[in-house]
Amino acid sequence: MIPQAPKGTDDILPPASEKWRTLLRGFEDLARRYGYALTMTPLFEATELFSRGVGEETEVVEKQMYTFADKSDRSLTLRPEATASVVRAYLGAGLQGVFKGYYAGPMFRYEQPQSGRRRQFFQVGVEYLAEPSPDADVEVIEVGYRLLADAGVTGVGVRLNTLGDPADRAAYRDELRSFLRGRAGDLSPDARRRLEGNPLRVLDSKADAEVVADAPAPIDSIGGEAAAHFSGVRAGLDRAGIPYEIAPRLVRGLDYYNRTVFEYVSADYTAAQDALGGGGRYDPLAEMLGGPPVAAVGLAMGVDRIVLAMPDPEPAGPDVFVVLADPQRRAEALGMVGRLREAGLWAEMDLGERSLKAQFKVAGRRSARLVAVVGDEWDEGEVTVRRMADGEESRVAIEEVPAWASR
């Protein structure tokens, strides 16, 4: 029996992989235009990074981590997210001052797999460190918004909220806890268990949506500075023309957030797992990891889900497919393919020894734009080029083919 890919993982093959390529290239270009530089961190980390950074009592750390002991009995974990790693890297390298990094890669969470919820999934993200201005929040939100717009995802909106500062959050946690205790009879068993340790997690619980709808919201108990920051973020989003709605009970699952939190959803793509990405400000994280305070804001976009919401791309094929009318001229044909590629064109040739008709068939299947026939004309320094859209044929001088095909 052929071994199968592990549950909750995917092989990304053509033609579906074409959407991935479009999205990943688009993301790199976009991140660079906004001034973010490639940042790569290990796929596995000391388990402690996540228990301290993401938070002991979060769903991710409690239930979803791929944790194992290596041969020297160190506890390691496949990264469930990349933000803690980026901050660890920044602190570890002794960096100071503003840092803008982008990353792209797989993350790992032991979840109940379904469409758009995988055990190995792919995130692209940016982290903007050491910049407390609300305009940094706006910039980060804009990057995610543009990514989705450029990918052709329609109906995109931002859900926005503020958690206030850590002291606000502590006060809010107490308030929420007493509210939930008052409704304990209506809560799911999970929520009853959580409400003592980490009541904010109850806000994420679908089973308790009805109770949660009446719960107090963080925004009602935030201090003056956090409120001013939030106004700044809202003003910036208005200026940038990014549509958003306030989602008063959006808290997001990880412990390191303060102030701004946000998620992207698409009205036209309503799967059960509808957040296409999200992020927020996480000023407390550097200190949670034992470093100095470092203001920070970032986002992570779920590529598996975005790809599901993307329109199908226009079918693309080679600029030129070279076919061999005379098997004796194989070397010349290969030389022509090489020159076309050097000229920056997408050129292909069937390397099997197939008939002319069969080669044309392959060219058609590959959606080639032009077919260049290497045959007897070669002796006169020419090839026959056929435009596949309408079948029109022209004789073209060999050295002119790259320029001809670039038109």
Binding site for ligand AMP (CB under 6 A): 81, 109, 111, 116-118, 121, 123, 253, 275-278, 300, 302, 304-305
Shortest CB 397 distance to ligand AMP, Å = 53
Phi, psi of 266 (to 5 degrees): -120, 125
Which CB sits closer to ligand AMP, 285 or 336? 285
How crowded is residue 227: how many other Cβ atoms within 10 Å of its Cβ? 15
Q: Are 82 and 105 in contact (CB under 8 A)?
A: yes
E strands, 272-359, in order: 277-281, 296-302, 320-324, 347-349
Closest to ligand AMP by CB, 254 or 363: 254
- Residue 8 CA to residue 78 CA, distance in Å, equals 15
Q: Taking Cα atoms as reference points, which of 68, 165, 49 lies closest to residue 110? A: 68
Burial of 350 (0-12, 13-18, 19+ CB in 10 A): middle
CB of 173 to ligand AMP, least distance (A): 20
Smallest gap, in angstroms, from Cβ of residue 156 to ligand AMP?
13
Kindly tell me which of 85 and 359 has the beta carbon lying closer to ligand AMP: 85
Q: How far is the CB of 388 from ligand AMP (least distance, A)?
A: 39
Would you say 121 and 303 are in contact if contact means Cβ atoms under 8 Å apart?
yes
The distance of closest approach from Cβ of residue 116 to ligand AMP in the complex, given in angstroms and rounded to an integer, is 6
Give the integer Cα–Cα distance in Å for 161 and 34. Answer: 24
Are the CB atoms for 109 and 120 separated by under 8 Å? no
Closest to ligand AMP by CB, 199 or 278: 278
Tell me how far, at minimum, the Cβ of 335 lies from ligand AMP, in Å: 46
- Phi then psi for 103, rounded to 5 degrees? -140, 160
Q: How far is the CB of 7 from ligand AMP (least distance, A)?
A: 12
Closer residue to ligand AMP (CB): 115 or 367: 115
Question: Taking CB positions, which residue lies at the least distance from ligand AMP?
Answer: 302
Classify residue 14 by its DSSP letter: T
The full DSSP string for 170-223 is: HHHHHHHHHHHHHTGGGS-HHHHHHHHH-GGGGGG-GGGHHHHTTS--GGGG--
Nearer to ligand AMP, 275 or 333 (CB): 275
Min. distance of Cβ 147 from ligand AMP in angstroms? 12
**Rounded alpha-carbon distances, angstroms, from residue 367 to 65, 335, 364, 406:** 44, 22, 5, 17
Nearer to ligand AMP, 301 or 401 (CB): 301
Output 271 or 388, the one with its CB closest to ligand AMP.
271
